[in-house]
Amino acid sequence: MFEDASTETIKPSNNWKNKTRDQRISIVSTQLKKFAGAEDFVVVEADESGQIIIAIENGLPANKRGLYLLELEQYLKNNIDKGLHLWCEPVGDKSRLRNLRGVTIKT
């Protein structure tokens, strides 16, 4: 069950690392426009360690979000660099009832 636990994580190539932040964001943004349903996603950060942070502008249903983001990450790995990892920007609590009661959730 844990035979892959000690496997080293794939790191981004030197080609990815040598690009500027703006170049990396541009490359990822271009690929997002080609992936069905991700046209409205905004790239917040694309650092040289391979972490890509996106903001989901349109609400993506929670029951579809996980699988969709895994497929998107695999698409980016196949089309840009194998060492990329996709992260979502945290979204604040949108519940009006909790906001009216003064309850805050720290993320």
pTM, to two decimals: 0.79
CATH number, domain containing residue 50: 3.30.300
Residue 46 lies in a domain: yes
The domain tally of the chain equals 1
pLDDT tens column, 12-68? 999 999 999 999 999 999 999 999 988 889 999 999 999 999 998 777 888 888 999
DSSP secondary-structure letter at 39? T
Record the tokens describing residue 72, joined without a space.
């998107």
Residue 96 lies in a domain: yes
The CA-atom distances, in angstroms, between 47 and each of 7, 32, 74 are 23, 17, 18
Report d(CA 35, CA 84) in Å as an integer.
Answer: 16
Residue 2 lies in a domain: no
Residue 1 lies in a domain: no
For residue 31, what pLDDT is reported? 95
Residue 6 lies in a domain: no
Contacts of residue 29, Cβ cutoff 8 Å, sequence gap at least 6: 43
Torsion over CA of 32, 83, 47 and 76, rounded to 10 degrees? 0
